[in-house]
C-alpha cells in the first residue's frame, strides 16, 4: 500500500491537537508524505502503526514518490509573505538586529553564525559569490516572523524543558549531540580549537562539563555546548549536550531550535 496524505490521515488520531506543530492532522499528513516531516512528531501513534507506516513512507521517499522537492521554496515564500506587514524598524531592537534600508526599502542586518546577511522585504542578500542554504533562509524568516522581544533570561535549559518537545529531542540527539560526541571523542583539544574558530566563548564556571562554550548564532538565540570527554578506563563514553536560553521559544519554534543546534554541529565537525 502507498501512503498519500489521505491514506496517512486515516491512520492519525484526527483530533487536530497541534502537538506535531501542524494546525491539523491533514496538514501533518501532507508534511510527512510530501515534505519530509517525521512521523514520530505525532506523539499519538502507537508503535506498531509507527513502524509499519514509517517504513513504507521511507521507501516511498527513497523512490521520490509524493516527494515535493521545492519544500524549502514553498516554506520560504509562505514566511516571506507572512512578514510582509512586520514593522522592521519596530522589531529590530527586540531581535538584537540593526535596522537599515536597501534600495530605498526597509531591511534588517542579521548576524548569523560567522557572517552578517541583509534581509529586505524581497529577499535575503548575500555576497555575489557566497552561497546560502535555503533552509538557513527559512530559519531567518522564522526568526523575523516570531519577532520575539523577551530579554534573555541567562538560564540555560535543555530542549526537554520545553512543552511538546519529545519528538524533536530524538532529532536533536541524532543530528547534534551524537554527531559532536562521536566526532570529538578523545579529542577535546580539537573541539576546543573548533569552538574558538567558530567564535565560541569559553564558559568557565557553573557547568559540570569538561568543556563549555557559548555561541551566538543569532543575537537572541545563544547556545551553550557542554562536552564530557570519554574515559576508556572507566568505560565512560563521550557526551555532548546543547542548552538554550529559557526564553528560546519566544524567538523560534522547536523545529528552529533543533535546526540551529544541528547547524552548529555541522559547522564544528567541518572546520
- Taking CB under 6 A as the binding criterion, the range among 19-27, 75-83, 119-127, 247-255 that sits at the site for ligand SF4 is 19-27
Asked whether position 20 contacts ligand SF4 by CB under 6 A, the answer is yes
The residue from 4, 7, 16, 198 that contacts ligand SF4 (CB under 6 A) is 16
Alpha carbon 44 to its chain centroid, in Å, reads 23
Report the nearest approach of ligand SF4 to the CB of residue 43 (Å).
Answer: 6
Asked whether position 25 contacts ligand SF4 by CB under 6 A, the answer is yes
Report the nearest approach of ligand SF4 to the CB of residue 9 (Å).
Answer: 9
Nearest to 220 by CA among 142, 123, 159, 119: 142
Phi-psi region of 18 (alpha: psi -120 to 50; beta: other; left: phi over 0): left
The residue from 19, 106, 210, 253 that contacts ligand SF4 (CB under 6 A) is 19
Asked whether position 37 contacts ligand SF4 by CB under 6 A, the answer is no
Asked whether position 12 contacts ligand SF4 by CB under 6 A, the answer is yes
- Taking CB under 6 A as the binding criterion, the range among 13-21, 64-72, 110-118, 225-233 that sits at the site for ligand SF4 is 13-21
Residue 23: partners with Cβ closer than 8 Å, 6 or more residues away = 16
13 neighbors 22 (Cβ within 8 angstroms): no
Separation of alpha carbons 227 and 212, rounded Å: 7
Q: Kindly compute the dihedral angle of the four CA atoms of residues 8, 10, 14, 18, in this order, to the nearest 10 degrees.
A: 0
198 neighbors 114 (Cβ within 8 angstroms): yes
Asked whether position 38 contacts ligand SF4 by CB under 6 A, the answer is no
Report the nearest approach of ligand SF4 to the CB of residue 170 (Å).
Answer: 15
Q: Which residues bind ligand SF4 (CB under 6 A)?
A: 12-13, 15-20, 22, 25, 28, 42, 44
Amino acid at each position: 500500500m502507498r501512503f498519500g496524505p489521505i491514506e496517512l490521515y486515516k491512520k492519525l488520531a484526527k483530533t487536530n491537537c497541534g502537538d506535531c506543530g501542524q494546525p491539523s492532522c491533514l496538514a501533518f499528513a501532507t508534511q510527512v508524505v510530501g515534505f519530509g516531516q517525521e512521523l514520530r512528531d505525532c506523539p499519538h501513534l502507537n508503535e506498531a502503526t509507527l513502524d509499519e507506516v514509517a517504513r513504507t513512507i521511507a521507501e516511498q521517499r527513497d523512490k521520490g514518490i509524493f516527494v515535493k522537492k521545492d519544500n524549502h521554496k514553498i516554506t520560504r515564500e509562505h514566511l516571506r509573505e507572512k512578514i510582509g506587514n512586520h514593522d522592521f524598524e519596530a522589531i529590530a531592537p527586540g531581535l538584537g538586529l540593526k535596522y537599515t534600508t536597501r534600495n530605498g526599502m526597509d531591511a534588517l542586518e542579521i548576524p548569523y553564525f560567522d557572517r552578517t546577511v541583509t534581509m529586505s522585504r524581497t529577499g535575503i542578500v548575500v555576497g555575489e559569490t557566497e552561497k546560502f542554504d535555503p533552509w538557513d533562509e527559512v530559519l531567518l524568516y522564522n526568526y523575523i516572523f516570531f519577532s520575539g522581544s523577551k530579554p534573555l533570561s541567562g538560564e540555560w535549559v535543555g530542549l526537554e524543558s520545553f512543552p511538546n518537545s519529545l519528538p524533536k529531542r530524538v532529532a536533536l540527539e541524532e543530528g547534534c549531540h551524537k554527531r559532536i560526541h562521536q566526532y570529538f571523542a578523545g579529542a577535546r583539544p580539537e573541539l576546543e580549537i573548533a569552538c574558538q574558530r567558530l567564535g565560541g566563548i569559553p564558559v568557565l564556571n557553573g557547568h559540570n562539563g569538561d568543556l563549555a562554550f557559548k555561541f551566538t548564532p543569532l543575537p537572541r538565540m545563544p547556545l551553550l555546548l557542554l562536552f564530557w570527554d570519554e574515559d576508556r578506563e572507566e568505560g565512560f563514553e563521550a557526551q555532548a549536550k546543547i542548552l538554550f536560553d529559557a526564553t528560546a521559544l519566544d524567538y523560534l519554534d522547536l523545529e528552529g531550535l533543533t535546526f540551529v543546534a544541528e547547524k552548529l554541529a555541522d559547522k564544528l565537525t567541518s572546520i
